[in-house]
Amino acid sequence: MLSRTAENLYWLARYVERAEYLARTIDATLRVTALPAAYIGKTNEWDSALLTAGVAASFYQKYQEANEANVVDYLSFSADNPSSIRNCIEAARLNSRSVRTALTSEMWDTINSAWIELQAVWSKGTSTREDLAKFLRFVQETSLRFDGSAYRTMLRNDAYWFSRMGVHLERADNTARILDVKYHVLLPEEEHVGGPLDFYQWSSILRSVSALTAYHWVYRETLKPWLIADLLILNDTLPRSLASCYGNLVRNLDQIGVAYGRQGPAQRHARGIRNRLEHSNMNDIFQHGVHEFIQEFIADNSRLGEIITKQYLI
């Protein structure tokens, strides 16, 4: 297939995944901030939402302080924020248009309908919490429909595998970021671990990656930071864990390698990251430092993106 087509499919999937992640982040943050102050302490949840979205620096060039109104607007609708949900959907539609021939009609319909709704219903943003909840649901449903359409209608060929790679690379990045920020914010406060404050903070992490129920199924325990880290990093039964994302990335890259009759640096690099995840345990990671571990992972993950681009997309 055309390199440009593969690139567009890959980015299209990333944009849709990113939009969903942002919607989940806002949703989880709203839940925490709706709690009485006694439960959440003095941390600014909107600040950490900006951090996990990776847009804190650009946000503060525009605003003095982070509050619900301006963060929601910046993450959802702002034209100045290249990764706002609106910009993600618009970029996804532009990419879809330029690779329409590689999309199934269901996938196109999902993106095009979302784009139409964005303009028709959400062009002025949201004014009430109810509206916002509706908007966030709309974004998540768009992503579910898109994913489902891809899964159910695409031929299992390189077009599919490149698009899946976009999903898993983006998802791994998002999961890693949220862990990094939350651990950074939460863990130093030893005295609070296990208190009610942390309970809600930690449950919001799990909510933002839709893994709260899964946690209970897997561990049958109250929320514990190291178990949460274990779930999100090492447990490959959880679709958003780093281990699971890398299992999929390696598989997709292998499928492409087989189809093209050639392996390359992308396959090797992905396999290296997966092996490291497979052979780690939480003890080692805590010894090494969670923050350091995740920082290295984020760098490795984005390096894989660069290698894929060089090997296939340009």
Partner 1 sequence: MAVAFDEMNIPGGDLRPAYQELARWLKETPPEALEYRRQEAELLFRRIGITFAVYGDSESTERLIPFDVIPRIMSGKEWTLLEKGLKQRVRALNMFLRDIYHGRDILRAEVVPDDLIFQNPVFRPEMNGQQVPHDVYVHIAGIDIIRVDAEDFIVLEDNARTPSGVSYMLENREIMMRLFPDLFARHKVAPVERYPDELLSALRSVAPHGASGEPTVALLTPGVYNSAYYEHSFLADKLGIELVEGRDLVVKNNEVFMRTTEGVKRVDVIYRRVDDDFLDPLTFRPDSALGVPGLMSAYAAGNITLANAVGTGIADDKAIYSYMPEIVKFYLGEEPILKNVQTWRCREPKDLAYVLDNLGDLVVKEVHGSGGYGMLIGPAATKATIEAFREKLKREPEGFIAQPTLALSTCPTCTATGLAPRHVDLRPFVLTGSKTTTIVPGGLTRVALKEGSLVVNSSQGGGTKDTWILDE
Instruction: Check residue 112 for interaction with partner 1 (CB under 8 A).
Output: yes
Among 17, 158, 170, 180, binds partner 1 (CB under 8 A): 158
Rule CB under 8 A: which of 238-257 touch partner 1?
Answer: 256
Instruction: Compute the distance between CA of residue 158 and CA of residue 259 in angstroms, rounded to an integer.
Output: 8
Binding of partner 1 at residue 155 (CB under 8 A)?
A: no
Between residues 113 and 222, which has the closer beta carbon with respect to partner 1?
113
Binding span for partner 1 by CB under 8 A among 77-85, 94-102, 142-150, 235-243: 94-102
Pick between residue 265 and residue 289 the one whose CB is nearest to partner 1.
265
> Using CA atoms, how far apart are residues 72 and 29, in angstroms rounded to an integer?
10
Cα–Cα nearest to 297, from 178, 205, 172 = 172
CA distance 260 to 12: 23
Cα 159 to Cα 279: distance, rounded to the nearest angstrom: 31
For the record, the structure tokens of 131 come out as 């509206």
Among 97, 251, 271, 291, binds partner 1 (CB under 8 A): 97
Residue 151 in the binding site for partner 1 (CB under 8 A): no
226 binds partner 1 (CB under 8 A): no
Half-sphere exposure of residue 31: CA atoms within 13 angstroms, side-chain side: 16
Q: Residue from 60, 63, 226, 260 that binds partner 1 (CB under 8 A)?
A: 260
- Binds partner 1 by CB under 8 A, chosen from 34, 116, 121, 258: 116
286 touches partner 1 (CB under 8 A): no
The neighbour count for residue 171, using CB atoms within 10 Å, is 25
Establish if 184 lies at the interface with partner 1 (CB under 8 A): no
With beta carbons less than 8 A apart as the criterion, state whether 282 and 234 touch: yes
Does position 100 bind partner 1 by CB under 8 A? yes
Q: Give me the least distance between CB of 138 and partner 1, in Å please.
A: 16
Site for partner 1 contains 162 (CB under 8 A): yes
Could you write out the DSSP letters of every residue in 128-181? SHHHHHHHHHHHHHHHHHHHHHHHHHS-SSHHHHHHHHHHHHHHHHHHHHHHHH
| Closer to partner 1 by Cβ: residue 108 or 219 | 108
Question: Could you give the CA distance from residue 84 to residue 78 in angstroms, rounded to a whole number?
Answer: 6
Positions that interact with partner 1 (CB under 8 A): 1-6, 94, 97-98, 100-101, 105, 108-109, 112-113, 116, 158, 162, 256, 260, 262, 312-314
